[in-house]
Structure 1
Amino acid sequence: MKKIFFLLAVALMAFASCADSKQAMTVTVTNPLALERTGEMVEVPMSDVVAKLQLADTAQIIVLDADGQQVPYQVTYDEKVIFPATVKANGTATYTIQPGTPEPFNVIACGKYYPERLDDVAWENDLVGFRAYGPALQARNERGFGYDIFTKYNTTEPVLESMYAEELNKEKRAKIAELKKTDPKAAAELGRAISYHIDHGYGMDCYAVGPTLGGGTAALMAGDTIIYPYCYRTQEILDNGPLRFTVKLEFNPLVVRGDSNVVETRVISLDAGSYLNKAVISYTNLKEAMPVVTGLVLREPDGAVVADAANGYITYVDPTTDRKGGNGKIFVGAAFPAQVKDAKTVLFSETEKKERGGADGHVLAVSEYEPGSEYTYYWGSAWDKAAIKTADVWNKYMAEYAQKLRAPLSVAY
């Protein structure tokens, strides 16, 4: 009798194991490069997960690593399950997706629309922060054409919302206005205390954009003339964490080479653990191919620049708004998954320098845009007060990032 019970128990365990295997999806991630890939986001279509696991609409899933530990994940606006993978050089790693109740995950990549600050859209992850300027700023004739950068250190948590709250605090702003009449020194001290242009121990805005391409904006070119985009017209936040922030920006119509009503659309996403955003650019109603550039504004005519067309990246060491060095240096860069035609430094004439708010020029990567296509590239920054301390380390990061773009992780299941 005991033997019968034992055999029955074994059979039930085998049945349960078989049932469990039908409710699990093994994902194998392969790294073709001789570089370790750490925390790099991989994507699996949610439709494949649902089909494989035979999930009901309300079912929850979990993602497990090879040790059976839960891995944070997100289902994106375009119905992909994304999670960070770590794969050794020329190696593979396996992950499992199965039904289950996920542990709570910290929100790492997130952002917000700020109508109270002239329609800024600002976003961040654990390493960096950025913003794009909106229609209210353009209505005031302020010329902020490119992306702005927020530096970040001493924290991996979101800080931009609290920075904006202090910067825009109505009561404190009213107090500053009062103090200016009676105690200008106290007014200045309070202004510094709430300003995000001052480092309060977790980062700041010390990057100058002005009427330039700023920290990595793309623009069409007619001959040698950049057709500068202005502030976005509409914004839509598509993903808001925990691992990816995505925003869709649409711009006002342009006249380009006689083509009227040319409308630029950008889809920008920032993943946890990355210094770089992904940008997907398209132009509707453009009739013929023309050059498109990605630019980094130069604040020194002889600044430290790398313009490497063959290996697909450009970088610059920005002196920040404090030329005395108190705010350190900001490393900016862009990387390209497809071959670019050229990468170079272009300095402004004295006349254009005045038109561009005193900037000295751009480092540009030049590609060709075909009507009806998408132009994809990656742009971002780091700060020498945080983890990346030198230009050499930043250039190595950018060179390896470009390699990874051109040899992506492969995902099989």
Structure 2
Amino acid sequence: MRNYNLIFKSLSVFFLFSILANAQNKSATISVKNNLDFLRKEIVVVSGKQLSDLIKGNKANDLRIKKEGTQQYVVLQWIDFDQDGVAYELLFQAEVPAKAKANYQVVFDGNIPLAESRIATYSRFVPERTDDYAWENDKVAFRTYGPDAQKRVEEKRQEGTLTSGIDLWLKRTDKPIINKWYAENAKKSGYYHIDHGEGYDPYQVGPSRGTGGTGIWEDNKLLVSKNFVSYKTIAVGPLRTVFELQYAAYSPYEVKETKRISLDLGSNFSKFEISIDVQKALPNYTTGITLHENKGEVKINKKEGWFRHAEKIDGVLLGEGIVLNPKLVNDAFSNVSKEKDRSDLLVVMQPKENKLTYYAGFAWQKSGQISNESDWDALLQKKAKMLANPLRVTIKGDK
């Protein structure tokens, strides 16, 4: 795995503003509380005042975290959103039993080797396949399409794709596959459409929403953007990958979208944080899941805020889903069309202050993550409960 020591070397000026000579913590305890009735293994974020209080007069690149009562140090990741050399978030993965609390000890000792992980998250722009943007973790992989792919369609050239839908890559390994599959596909076109033992891409997006694409529902029609026009990679792992996609104005409302998309280690769901710039008020904002040939099964749970499609591709079950705060949902329904790739399960939402957050993802039976539709429903229900009941993080410093 990549040596993440390089990340810390760029943080030499990190939190200089909070150096307090008389208030330096030698150690601290981070308590993570789980109020739900099942084990949770999630990425914990320490940011803002909590992070500045935790660091105080110590050096950020000396920080280490271990599970209390053990010598088991956990993998860390710093996130620098504006890439100015100052990190704004500290991430680590916590494992908390049902209805319980887990404690993690923070120490400042640069002589302790940084913990590394065999698995990771990853994302990148892919110019060698026109201009895809692809992202993955140990469970799932996704991609979407840029301006060159759009231009190729408009000019009727090969290798074109015109859609703002989200494509799924069905992987059955926890190892990274993006770079390998693209490299092999460059040698032999169509490589990743065949399962060579790690999974493959049989998923058809077309003009549909794929899983998590967006639009505006008006007059019984879905208005959608074209491909993204620019991108920004913010972080690539090991615990979280983060990037942004910009979309050109579309529809009579002249909607411009910025999508900040992130994917955590161990999660089946990408997080979509949408910022919208419009010339006049939108009637709604909509996300969806392709219904392909309308042979799958749809479930709509407005009360809990989860929506799913279950279908078989090449005889194997694929579950796709969207999860969000149920208070944001105006409506949800299957929009069935006779046109190819125009049928979608649509979730119609009302953004607040032109911002909106939802989660979209999937599980593939061949990966071993689910065995049937009920397993997928259970994962969606758990995700909805986790969003409604976030882990509670408290920090106590010891001087």
> Any idea what the Cα deviations from partners look like across 1:15-59, whole Å, max 9, x if unmatched?
xxxx9x93112111111222221x211110166334433345563
Which of the two has greater strand per residue? 2
Distance, in Å, in 2 between the alignment partners of 1:273 and 1:67 is 24
The residue number in structure 2 matching 1:77 is: 80
Query: Equivalents in 2 of 1:297, 1:240: separation in Å?
Result: 28
Q: Is the 8 A contact 2:273 2:358 kept in 1?
A: yes
SS of the residue corresponding to residue 201 of structure 1 reads coil
Q: Name the aligned partner's letter for residue 329 of structure 1.
A: L
Contact kept? 1:23, 1:54, Cα under 8 Å: no
Alpha-carbon distance in 2 for matches of 1:56, 1:282: 36
Rounded Cα–Cα distance in structure 2 between residues aligned with 1:199 and 1:346 = 31
Matched, 1:117 2:129: yes
**Which residue of the other structure, out of 252, 264, 269, is the alignment partner of 2:257?**
264
Amino acid at match of 1:238: I
Of 99-108 and 65-74, the range deviating more from structure 2 = 99-108
Gapped regions of structure 2 (runs ≥ 5): 1-21, 82-87, 154-160
Corresponding residue number in structure 2 for 1:146? 165
- Find the aligned partners of 1:343 and 1:237 in 2 and give their Cα distance: 32
Asked if the contact 1:292–1:369 (Cα under 8 Å) also holds between the matched residues in 2, the reply is yes
Determine which structure has more spread, i.e. the larger CA radius of gyration.
1
Please tell me whether residue 304 in structure 1 is matched to residue 286 in structure 2: no
How far, CA to CA, are the matches of 2:53 and 2:342 in structure 1? 55
Match of 1:216 in 2: 212
Partners of 2:225 and 2:249 within 8 A in 1 = no
SS of the equivalent of 2:341 reads coil
1:53-97 CA distances to partner (integer Å, 9 max, x unpaired)?
A: 334556321111123311112111341111111112221111122
In the TM superposition, 1:149-188 aligns within 5 A as 149-153=168-172, 155-169=173-187, 173=188
Aligned positions of 1:344-355 closer than 5 A: 344-348=333-337, 350=338, 353=339
Unaligned runs of 5+ residues in structure 1 are 1-18, 174-190
Report 1:176-325 matches (<5 A).
195-256=191-252, 259-260=253-254, 262-320=255-313, 322=314, 325=315
Secondary structure of 2:94's aligned partner:
strand
- Please give the alpha-carbon distance, in whole angstroms, between the structure 1 residues aligned to 2:119 and 2:80: 16
Asked if the contact 1:234/1:250 (under 8 Å) is kept, the reply is yes
What TM-score do the two structures reach when normalised by structure 1? 0.81
Match of 1:337 in 2: 325
Cα 1:341–1:35 change in 2 (3 A) is farther
Deviates most, 133-142 or 264-273: 133-142
In structure 2, how many angstroms separate the alpha carbons of the residues matched to 1:363 and 1:143? Answer: 20
Contact residue 40 and residue 84 of structure 1 kept, 8 A = yes
- For 2:197, what is the secondary structure of its paired residue? coil
Instruction: State the aligned residue count.
Output: 355
Identity of aligned residues (%): 29
Specify the alignment match of 2:116 in structure 1.
104
Q: In the alignment, residue 29 of structure 2 is paired with which amino acid?
A: T
The answer to which structure has the higher helix fraction is 1
Equivalent in the alignment of 1:402:
384
CA contact (8 A) 1:333 1:379 kept: yes
Letter in 2 for 1:24: S
Q: In structure 2, what is the Cα distance between the partners aligned to 1:47 and 1:64?
A: 21
